[in-house]
């Protein structure tokens, strides 16, 4: 099979020579003419039933060729037969829970998770009960009503790693969903380790340019049918323009991920040596749970890290205010560097006790390193750390 660099450039473009085009066609139709009613009826039934394609797309909530190209490319990158795209990462997670809900009403999930995933699972909004477990408790916690096991690795915002193959083994016949947003298929392919559902907030690295909100689930054909049924019925669609931009970004995915990772390793080392920084959690420093999985499960440590400021909340807030090149903003995986405060922003929806238990402290900042020149990034971060030191001394 081709490698990620090659797949990123060519996947989802197999029919270009037949079509006589060099860039993906962008199809914005909401409806499609039905001249042959029998064919239309057959197509409608197939698509509502979760088929990937039909002779006639009928209506854009049922199928869109531009979205299907991105899905096809992503499936190839993840090593699955199928992928199903949604209007956001949360729409993708909701669809997985709704599809799983037909198998059982209870899921097992490992904390920490992305704040809104935690909130969705804890809220019971979708009629699913969540039991929070540690990875080593999965095998003992499964019962006949367990529909899904949910993990996120690397985890948000602690960057702790979870051994995917070990959780898959512990889950036995119960499918495992891995939120692989932080890793991208460039750094890890959970399906090759036995995960059934690989979820991405495509808003992050896959999009990579801060201009698309999207989600995608890579999976086998059976799950794809269930997810397409949910999508057609509940309407959490990815707009074709978003899919076009995502597909356009895939050729540079490897370059972006690897360059940002190279920068991140250097910045993590310098931050760890800085007097204002108490601790840096980064897989490339070995300062996270299961860091030994870098080099095996993960091809590299990635470009996200969390660091704890000496001086707590005030110092963290000062850094957010003082950065000039980095953008103080939530989200991650963009070509530009973003810095944010998990306790005050992304993980606010997580209850205080859970925050404390997972090291989401008032002084914690999460850094998503971009592809700028590393020395320009370090100049910016070190002047912001100096600003925090001066205001602490004042």
To ligand PLP, the closest distance from the beta carbon of 302 in angstroms equals 12
Nearer to ligand PLP, 160 or 380 (CB): 160
HEC readout, the chain: CCCHHHHHHHCCCCCHHHHCCCCCCCCCCCECCCCCHHHHHHHHHHHHCCCCCCCCCCECCCCCHHHHHHHHHHHHHHCCCEEEEECCHHHHHHHHHHHHCCCCCEEEECCCCCHHHHHHHHHCCCCCEEEECCHHHHHHHCCCCEEEEEEECCCCCCCCCCCHHHHHHHHCCCCEEEECCCCHHHHCCHHHHCCCEEEEECCCCCCCCCCCCCEEEEECHHHHHHHHHHHHHHCCCCCHHHHHHHHHHHHHHHHHHHHHHHHHHHHHHHHHCCCCEEEEECHHHCCCCCHHHECCCECCCCCEEEEEECCHHHHHHHHHHHCCCCEECCCCCCCCCEEECCCCCCCCCCCHHHHHHCCCCCCEEEEECCCCCHHHHHHHHHHHHHHHHHHHHC
Binding mask 103-142 for ligand PLP (x = CB under 6 A): -----------x-xx-------------------------
Active-site choice (69, 82, 114, 163): 114
Neighbours of 290 (CB within 10 A): 17
- Name the segment binding ligand PLP (CB under 6 A); options: 41-49, 86-94, 166-174, 249-257: 86-94
To ligand PLP, the closest distance from the beta carbon of 327 in angstroms equals 16
Nearer to ligand PLP, 59 or 244 (CB): 244
- Name the segment binding ligand PLP (CB under 6 A); options: 87-95, 128-136, 235-243, 292-300: 87-95
Residue with nearest beta carbon to ligand PLP: 89
Position among 80, 158, 196, 203 found at the interface with ligand PLP (CB under 6 A): 203
184 is a site residue for ligand PLP (CB under 6 A): no
Position among 78, 160, 179, 380 found at the interface with ligand PLP (CB under 6 A): 179
Nearer to ligand PLP, 47 or 108 (CB): 108
User: Active-site residue 61, yes or no?
Assistant: yes
204 is a site residue for ligand PLP (CB under 6 A): yes
Nearer to ligand PLP, 217 or 316 (CB): 217
Position among 71, 78, 82, 152 found at the interface with ligand PLP (CB under 6 A): 152
Neighbours of 254 (CB within 10 A): 21
Whether the CB-CB separation of 253 and 284 falls below 8 Å is answered with: no
Nearer to ligand PLP, 201 or 254 (CB): 201
Chain-centroid distance of CA 284 in Å reads 19
Number of chain residues interacting with ligand PLP (CB under 6 A): 15
User: Active-site residue 204, yes or no?
Assistant: yes
Position among 47, 107, 151, 213 found at the interface with ligand PLP (CB under 6 A): 213
User: Active-site residue 279, yes or no?
Assistant: no
To ligand PLP, the closest distance from the beta carbon of 113 in angstroms equals 7
To ligand PLP, the closest distance from the beta carbon of 156 in angstroms equals 5
**CA-CA distance, 175 to 367, in Å (whole number)?**
32
User: Active-site residue 179, yes or no?
Assistant: yes
156 is a site residue for ligand PLP (CB under 6 A): yes
Q: Which residues are catalytic?
A: 61, 114, 179, 204
Residues engaged in binding ligand PLP (CB under 6 A): 88-90, 114, 116-117, 152, 156, 179, 181, 201, 203-204, 213, 215
């Amino acid at each position: 099979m081709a490698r990620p660099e090659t797949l990123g450039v060519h996947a989802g473009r197999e029919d270009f020579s037949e079509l006589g085009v060099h860039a993906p066609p962008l199809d914005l139709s909401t409806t499609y003419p039905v001249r042959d009613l029998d064919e239309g009826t057959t197509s409608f039934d197939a698509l509502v039933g979760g088929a990937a394609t039909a002779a006639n797309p009928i209506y854009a909530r049922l199928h869109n060729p531009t979205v299907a190209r991105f899905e096809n490319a992503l499936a190839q990158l993840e090593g699955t037969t199928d992928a199903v795209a949604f209007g956001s990462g949360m729409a993708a997670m909701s669809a997985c829970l709704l599809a799983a809900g037909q198998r059982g009403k209870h899921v097992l999930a490992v904390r920490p998770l992305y704040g809104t995933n935690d909130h969705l699972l804890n809220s019971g909004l979708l009629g699913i009960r969540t039991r929070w477990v540690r990875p080593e408790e999965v095998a003992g916690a499964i019962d006949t009503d367990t529909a899904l096991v949910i993990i996120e690795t690397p985890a948000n915002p602690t960057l702790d790693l979870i051994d995917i193959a070990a959780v898959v083994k512990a889950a036995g016949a119960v499918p495992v969903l891995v939120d692989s947003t932080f890793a991208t298929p460039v750094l890890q392919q959970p399906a090759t380790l036995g995960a059934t559902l690989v979820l991405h907030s495509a808003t992050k690295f896959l999009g990579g340019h801060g201009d698309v909100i999207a989600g995608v689930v890579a999976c086998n054909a059976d799950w794809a049918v269930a997810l397409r049924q949910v999508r057609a019925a509940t309407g959490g669609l990815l707009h074709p323009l978003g899919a076009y931009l995502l597909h356009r970004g895939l050729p540079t995915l490897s370059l972006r991920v690897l360059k940002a990772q190279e920068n991140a390793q250097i910045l993590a080392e310098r931050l760890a040596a800085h007097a204002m920084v108490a601790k840096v959690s980064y897989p490339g420093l070995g300062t996270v749970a299961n860091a030994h999985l870098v080099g095996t499960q993960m091809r590299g440590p990635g470009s996200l890290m969390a660091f704890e400021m000496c001086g707590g909340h005030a110092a963290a807030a000062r850094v957010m205010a003082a950065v000039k090149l980095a953008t103080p903003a939530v989200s991650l995986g963009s070509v530009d560097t973003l810095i944010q405060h998990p306790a005050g922003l992304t993980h606010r929806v997580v209850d205080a006790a859970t925050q404390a238990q997972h090291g989401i402290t008032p002084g914690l900042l999460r850094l998503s390193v971009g592809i700028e020149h590393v020395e320009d990034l370090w100049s910016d971060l070190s002047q912001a750390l100096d600003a925090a030191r001066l205001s602490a001394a004042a």
